[in-house]
Every structure is written in structure tokens, then in C-alpha cells.
């Protein structure tokens, strides 16, 4: 009688595993039975808070591990890919903050743009055939001439981050069409969660709400209140990433809710959730705590304006909905409440 060996679980390699999207994606893939290897940069301090619950779960220790690597170092990428032998690669690592990209354009271009080329070329040099997902961004559309934006909308980035993502977008296509790799771009519009970094405006707002409730502060300083974005939940969007790599044919997809809301609306909803009234001050004025009516002051601070900003980004995900069967589950209002509640809990825990 011949013994048969059970097939090994599918194996995924995630760059940027310690970030918002990487942590949600790792959870999703582990739930689906994958073995997951997450790439982390060598550092003197740990940045694994978003995945600590996965690392601490003894039931996952045989299927979840971290491996060192860096998009700025092609040799480290070769070593990581050899060690993992992945069936699927999700490249989520990047310098992903638009504001920082103006301050560090060279670094942003190298990691967010050229880093993708290093990873794609490592795949070719090793002669392996994993399916490859590239995390693209709505910022590649820049000041699009029409709304909403979809897969055929011309690219017109207007910041270094968007330009680097546009380069990565085109290089992913080139490696797909020129070398036959199963490589796709997920053009994701803004997606948030309680795991969003605190330098991003959504977390900046919800963290401020929690600290004001706790009595730690009494004002908020923001930039462009009228900027409109298509905001969804990161947990929904990582499912779209996975679906793209399960398709029969590699294609690029826009992932979005199709709705837009302003920073002002986000702020109003966040404070309304905890019953705090707001008042607004214009550009050039500093917030001075509560106004005479006891309302929280939100002031516009010119320091938070970018050299070149985008007024509105709105996505049309019709193709993903019809071909992948994907659709967002969490509404904008529910997303804001989720983030506020999470920050309230976090600030209370810090106080305790």
C-alpha cells in the first residue's frame, strides 16, 4: 500500500505585515489555513504591536513567522523568497504617508517605487512563479479630471508618494505583460481602521476625541477640512486583495466604496458619537480650548496643508464587484464609530 502525503497549506509572503493592512491580511489568510511569512525590516526596536496577538497564539506558531528583509535591499529579498517559497506574495510595504513623501521624496521613490522593481526582479531571478499582489493607491490618479475614478482613468499623481506608486503600478504591469507573471495592482482608495497610524488624519481625529473625553486635551488642530475622500474599512479591503489572486486571469482592480465624505464630516461624526459639540476656527487661528459655550474648538492650522493637495478622490469598484464578487461591508458611519470606540478603550487603558 502506497502512503500519500497530504498537500502542504498554501504559503503567503507579506511585506509590510506589521502595518494596518498587513495585520488584517495576515489574520484573513491564517483563518483560511495558509502558512504566512511576514517580512520585517531589521530594527533595534520592535514594531509588531498590530500582530502581537498572532505571534502570541500558540495555535498559529507553526503557520505564522517573521523573516527579515528590506525593499531597499535586493539581496535580502532574494534570501527571504528562497526561505519562504511562497505561492502568493502581497507587497504592502511602502513609505505610505503623503505628507512625509514631500519631506522625503528620494526615500519614498526608492522604497515605494524602486523597491517594487527589486521584488519583481527577485521573483524572475529565482525562476519562481508565485502570484503577486501590488498595493497600489488612489493617489496615482491625483487631480483626476472626472469623478469617479476607475481602472481606465488616466494617472496624474501630484505628490511624491503618488508618483512612486504610479511607477510601481506600471512596473507591475510590465512584468505581467512582458514576462508572464501573475501580477496584479489593487488600486485601493482610502481605507481606515483602529489600526491606522496616528499621523493619518482619521486616527488623529479619533484619538483626539478619546483624549478630550478623558480630559487630556480640549482642542484639535487640522489641515484641509474640505478635502473629500472615499473611505472604507481596511478589513474589507484585504479580502479584495486575496480575491484578486484567486482569479483565473490577472487584472488590476479599483477597490472603493463609491462614496465621498469630507474631513469636516468625519470630524463631526466622531465628536457626535460621544456627544461633544464642535465649533470651528479658520486658517491662521490657533485653538484655545473650549469656547464660551463649552464647545470643542477645531482649528485649521496651515502647517498641516500640503504643497499640492487633492480636493476629491472617489472610486468606482464596479469591475471588482461584478468579477470578484467583492463589496464593502462596513459603512462610513460604522467605521467612524468603530475607530472612536477603539481609541476610547485605548486611552482608558493607558490611563489605568
At 144 the pLDDT is 87
Per-residue pLDDT tens digits for 239-280: 999 999 999 999 999 999 999 999 999 999 999 999 988 887
For the residues 306-324, what does the mean pLDDT come to? 88
Q: Which three cell numbers stand for residue 177?
A: 505583460
Whether 137 sits among the annotated catalytic residues: the reply is yes
142: left (phi over 0), alpha (psi -120 to 50) or beta: left
| Residue-level pLDDT at 284 | 44
pLDDT of the residue at 219: 81
Q: Is 151 tagged catalytic?
A: no
Q: What is the mean pLDDT of residues 203-213?
A: 95
Residues 171 and 291 in one domain: no
Is residue 35 in a domain?
yes
221 and 149 in a single domain? The answer is: no
**C-alpha Rg value of the chain to the nearest Å:** 21
Same domain, 305 and 316: no
pLDDT of residue 221: 85
In the set 27, 139, 239, 268, the catalytic residue is 139
- Mean pLDDT rounded to a whole number for the chain: 91
Residue 286 lies in a domain: yes
284 and 319 share one domain: no
For residues 286-308, average pLDDT = 63
CATH code: domain of residue 282: 3.90.25.10
Residues 162 and 172 in one domain: yes
CATH number at 187 reads: 3.40.50.720
> Among residues 143, 155, 136, 156, which one has the least CA distance to residue 228?
143
Name the region of 218 (left: φ>0; alpha: ψ -120 to 50; beta: rest).
Answer: alpha
Residue 111: which domain range? 11-194+230-259+311-329
**What 3-state class would DSSP assign to 269?**
helix
Give the chain's domain count: 2
User: Above 60 in pLDDT, residue 286?
Assistant: no
In a domain, 18, yes or no: yes
- pLDDT confidence bin for 287, thresholds 50/70/90: very low
Residues 36 and 78 in one domain: yes
Task: Examine the domain organization and report whether 167 and 43 are in the same domain.
Answer: yes
pLDDT above 80 (res 44): no
CA distance 37 to 29: 11
Catalytic residue among 23, 76, 137, 317: 137
Of the given ranges (95-109, 125-139, 243-257, 336-350), which has the lowest mean pLDDT?
Answer: 95-109
**Which one from 34, 150, 161, 175 is the annotated catalytic residue?**
161
Instruction: Indicate whether 2 belongs to any domain.
Output: no
Please check whether residue 105 lies inside any domain of the structure.
Answer: yes
161 classed as catalytic: yes
Structural contact between residues 198 and 335, judged by C-beta atoms closer than 8 angstroms: no
Q: How confident is the model at residue 283 (pLDDT cuts 50, 70, 90)?
A: very low
Write the pLDDT tens digit of every residue in 60-110. Answer: 999 999 999 999 999 999 999 999 999 999 999 998 888 888 899 999 999
> Average pLDDT for residues 305-315, to the nearest whole number?
78
State the average pLDDT over residues 196-204.
93
Helices (DSSP H) in the chain: which residue ranges? 20-31, 52-55, 74-84, 98-103, 105-108, 115-126, 160-179, 201-213, 234-246, 263-273, 318-323, 332-351
Q: Are both 240 and 215 inside the same structural domain?
A: no
**Paired strand residues for 136:** 187
> How much of the chain exceeds pLDDT 70, in percent?
91
Amino acid at each position: 500500500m502506497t502512503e500519500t502525503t497530504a498537500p502542504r497549506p498554501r504559503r503567503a509572503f507579506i511585506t509590510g505585515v506589521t502595518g494596518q493592512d498587513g495585520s488584517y491580511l495576515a489574520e484573513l489568510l491564517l483563518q483560511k489555513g495558509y502558512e504566512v511569512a511576514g517580512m520585517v525590516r531589521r530594527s533595534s526596536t520592535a514594531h509588531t504591536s498590530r500582530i502581537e496577538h498572532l505571534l502570541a497564539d500558540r495555535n498559529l506558531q507553526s503557520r505564522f513567522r517573521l523573516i527579515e528583509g528590506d525593499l531597499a535591499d535586493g539581496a535580502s529579498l532574494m534570501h527571504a523568497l528562497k526561505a519562504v517559497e511562497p505561492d502568493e506574495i502581497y507587497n504592502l510595504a511602502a513609505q505610505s504617508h503623503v505628507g512625509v513623501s514631500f519631506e522625503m521624496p528620494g526615500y519614498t521613490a526608492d522604497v515605494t517605487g524602486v523597491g517594487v522593481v527589486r521584488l519583481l526582479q527577485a521573483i524572475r531571478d529565482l525562476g519562481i512563479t508565485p502570484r503577486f499582489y501590488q498595493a497600489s493607491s488612489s493617489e496615482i490618479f491625483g487631480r483626476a479630471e472626472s469623478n469617479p475614478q476607475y481602472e481606465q482613468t488616466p494617472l496624474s499623481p501630484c505628490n511624491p508618494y503618488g508618483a512612486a506608486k504610479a511607477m510601481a503600478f506600471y512596473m507591475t504591469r510590465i512584468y505581467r505583460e512582458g514576462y508572464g507573471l501573475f501580477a496584479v495592482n489593487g488600486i485601493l482608495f482610502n481605507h481606515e481602521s483602529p489600526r491606522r497610524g496616528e499621523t493619518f488624519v482619521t486616527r488623529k481625529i479619533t484619538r483626539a476625541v478619546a483624549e478630550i473625553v478623558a480630559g487630556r486635551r480640549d482642542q484639535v488642530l487640522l489641515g484641509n477640512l474640505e478635502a473629500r475622500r472615499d473611505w472604507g474599512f481596511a478589513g474589507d479591503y484585504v479580502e479584495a486583495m486575496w480575491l484578486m489572486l484567486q482569479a483565473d486571469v490577472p487584472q488590476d482592480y479599483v477597490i472603493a466604496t463609491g462614496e465621498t465624505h469630507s474631513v469636516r464630516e468625519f470630524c463631526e461624526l466622531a465628536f457626535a458619537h460621544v456627544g461633544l459639540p464642535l465649533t470651528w476656527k479658520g486658517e491662521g487661528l490657533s485653538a484655545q480650548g473650549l469656547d464660551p459655550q463649552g464647545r470643542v474648538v477645531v482649528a485649521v492650522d496651515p502647517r498641516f496643508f500640503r504643497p499640492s493637495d487633492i480636493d476629491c478622490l472617489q472610486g468606482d469598484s464596479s469591475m471588482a464587484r461584478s468579477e470578484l464578487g467583492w463589496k464593502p461591508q462596513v459603512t462610513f458611519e460604522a467605521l467612524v464609530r468603530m475607530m472612536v470606540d477603539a481609541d476610547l478603550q485605548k486611552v482608558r487603558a493607558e490611563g489605568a
